[in-house]
Amino acid sequence: MRLVGSETDRESRPAVVIPARSASMRKALYLARRACPHNFPVLLLGETGVGKDYLARWIHERSFCSDGPYLAINCAALPGSLAESELFGHEAGAYTGAGCMKPGLVEVADGGTLLLNEIGDLDLVQQAKLLTFLDTRSFIRVGGTKVLHSQARIVAATNRDLVRDVRRGAFRSDLFYRLNVLTIAVPPLRKRRMDFPLLTGLLLEDLGVELGRDHTPRLSNEALSDLVARRWPGNIRELRNVLHRSLILSGEPLIEPHHLEYSDGDPLDASSSPRSFTCESDLGFHDAVDEFKRWLIVEAFRSTRSVPEVAASLRISRYSLYHQVKVLGLSRLLPRAPSPV
């Protein structure tokens, strides 16, 4: 996904571009697009590192309030007393150290979007005050008496299981139902195999600019196949760090498999990839079959770059191999050679 574009990019298109060739990401963007024209809460669910914050900005840039401010706060980093001041502001003298009036993020984001990241970590007292704001669109600064209003759009995000937290009393059920107008599940990277060519290309483009490279770095077909075969528990954040590290350590414009390393220093090569197939238990039948096909093809290409040999090892025709590689998003595994007649 594009983090920050050039000046020309910003003039011609939104700054955040999210590849969505995979069915799971297409569904997430479809729901996000439906939310853009309306001012109701959006709840983003997904594992850490999947890019929930970028999807929130994607929604903002395409919404009715795109000309307004975009602000974000990490609720997990704020103790209860500070969270109220950060969200709703305080008056001068409201507490020790409050020398002047400070508007809160809800007030500053009026006419724009406020992302409440890690909403599941907000304490129960602040959850109640947030619920009041969502119901009435009004709030009072800490230490104040004047009722203020804001039309800030609220997007909440979490990697927690809020339903479970509601059951054990860690999250208010009324706030959950208030936020749960439109819930978008942001898929993990392992369910976005078809997005890897575009996603890694955008990440490398951004990293090349960040590192001052004259040319956009590229992945070799072998390096891409290794990345596609990985499980990526850290999701896009982990993928970006691996690419960033490879560019710093290699200094080469073309990234090969031996350039890719995890943070523990183990080379990201074929020997460190799982040699047996596993898939997520929540995958549907057709998605699980596609995952298995993808794994078979990647494993076959590890031992040889010859299309006839890969097709023979899989006991399918070259035409079928080309077709499967295309529909499964693995086209860059193929050597640069003409397609069969």
Same domain, 151 and 283: no
Residue range 31-69, pLDDT digits in tens: 999 999 999 999 999 999 999 999 999 999 999 999 999
Model pTM? 0.76
Same structural domain, 246 and 293? yes
Task: Give the end of a domain, one of 141, 170, 186.
Answer: 186
Please tell me the total count of domains within the chain: 2
Q: Which of 48-57, 182-191, 226-235 has the lowest mean pLDDT?
A: 226-235
For residue 290, the model assigns a pLDDT of: 80
Ranking 23-37, 102-116, 237-251, 310-324 by mean pLDDT, the lowest is 310-324
CATH number at residue 211: 1.10.8.60
Q: Which residue has the higher pLDDT, 4 or 277?
A: 277
pLDDT of residue 249: 84
CA separation, residue 211 to residues 223, 229, 257 (Å): 20, 27, 20
In sequence order, what are the beta bridge partners of 267?
261
**CB-based burial, 234-244: b 16+ in 10 Å, e otherwise:** bbbebbbebbb
The confidence band for 277, taking pLDDT boundaries of 50, 70 and 90, is: low
18 within some domain: no
Per-residue pLDDT band for 263 (boundaries 50, 70, 90) equals low
- Based on the domain organization, do 149 and 198 belong to the same domain? no
Same domain, 250 and 176: no
Enclosing domain of residue 181: 23-186
End-to-end Cα separation, the chain, in angstroms: 36
Mark which of 164, 186, 208 sits at the end of a domain: 186
Q: Could you tell me if 79 and 45 lie in one domain? A: yes
Highest mean pLDDT among 14-28, 125-139, 257-271, 308-322: 125-139
Mean pLDDT for 141-156 is: 95
Question: Which band of pLDDT confidence, cut at 50, 70 and 90, is reported for residue 11?
Answer: very low
Report, as an integer, the average pLDDT of 307-335: 82
Does residue 260 share a domain with residue 146? Answer: no
**Residue with the larger pLDDT of the pair 170 and 299:** 170
What CATH number has the domain bearing residue 76? 3.40.50.300
Q: In whole angstroms, give the CA distance from residue 55 to residue 50.
A: 9
Please tell me the predicted confidence (pLDDT) of residue 3: 39
> How many Cα atoms occupy the beta-carbon half-sphere of 203 within 13 Å?
22
pLDDT digits (tens, 9 = 90+) for 194-222: 899 999 999 999 999 998 888 889 998 88
Per-residue pLDDT tens over the stretch 93-106: 888 777 899 999 99
Do 174 and 29 lie in one domain? The reply is: yes
Q: Say whether both 215 and 147 belong to one domain.
A: no
Count Cβ atoms within 10 A of the Cβ of residue 333 and give its class: 0-12 exposed, 13-18 middle, 19 or more buried.
buried
pLDDT, residue 293, reads: 84
Same domain, 167 and 204: no
Cα distance between residue 149 and residue 140, in whole Å: 9
Helical segments of 62-152, H only:
80-88, 105-108, 124-136
Average pLDDT score over the chain: 84
Please, which pLDDT band fits residue 280 given cuts at 50, 70 and 90?
Answer: low
Split at pLDDT 50, 70, 90, the class of 314 is confident
- Residue 277 vs residue 272, higher pLDDT: 277
User: Above 90 in pLDDT, residue 239?
Assistant: yes
